[in-house]
Amino acid sequence: MNLIDAYNFSRTMLPSITVVLFLVGWILQFTKWFSAGLPSKTYLTAKSNRLIHALKAWTWDYMPTQYLPFRYEPIFRVNGFTFHLTLLLLAFTPVHKAFTQSLLGVSPLPTFSTNGLPRALISTIFVVSGSLILIRWVIQCANRRSVARPIAETGDFTGIGLLILIAVTGVSAAYGLAHYKLMVATHFISIQLFVIYLPFSKAVHVLTGLVARTYYGVRRANVGV
């Protein structure tokens, strides 16, 4: 397969394969989660307001005075929040919305444009923060004498590695830093590999975090904590 074939494959056949494998992954995950069952204790009458506690789980509990990891690792926590925030901002930029519509067959395939210094700056910050996370994970996993349990396992390197590759190839295509079609093909393929990998990795918290944090707040309201 030459570059043109890979470029066309990433925009035509691969999206359908990606969707099927993504859905299969979610079905397997839901089967695994629901097979574990729900907690045996249920509280029909909450001792506190569930909505207030759910909102608190997403706001007050993340304050430096309350969020215990933030007290011990402020630099790493700020870097982690930066990584997630820039990822969210990049995912909803107009050019990415246009590319998503093109992959769904709604609109023609757009081209990467350079009209956006903020997007380039956000992309750069994302790559730097992601690289710092990756370096920390590598050092932590390599330090076998550490008494602390590593945050990441070897499989987690796949997800963050793909995200960094996605950002680097996107910026390279937009600003002509490398061969355009090579960067676009790599960008598309790495995005879809990440989507396929998502249900099977810890990166699934991108989609389940809202449910988990909200449920945590509701449970605290049920027991009156």
> Tokens 């359908």 correspond to what residue?
16
What residue ranges do the domains of the chain occupy? 3-22+70-223
> 169 and 190 in contact (C-beta within 8 Å)?
yes
Alpha helices in 117-202 (DSSP H): 117-142, 156-174, 180-197
Alpha carbon of residue 95 to chain centroid: 18
What angle, rounded to 10 degrees, do the helices at 156-174 and 180-197 form?
150
> Tokens 């045996």 correspond to what residue?
40
Distance, in Å, from the CA atom of 98 to the CA atom of 109, rounded to the nearest integer, reads: 8
Burial of 134 (0-12, 13-18, 19+ CB in 10 A): middle
Distance, in Å, from the CA atom of 67 to the CA atom of 6, rounded to the nearest integer, reads: 46
Query: Mind listing the pLDDT tens digit for each residue in 142-176?
Result: 776 655 556 667 777 888 899 999 999 988 888 88
Query: Mind listing the pLDDT tens digit for each residue in 60-110?
Result: 777 766 776 677 778 888 898 899 899 888 888 777 777 777 666 666 666
The overall pTM is greater than 0.85: no
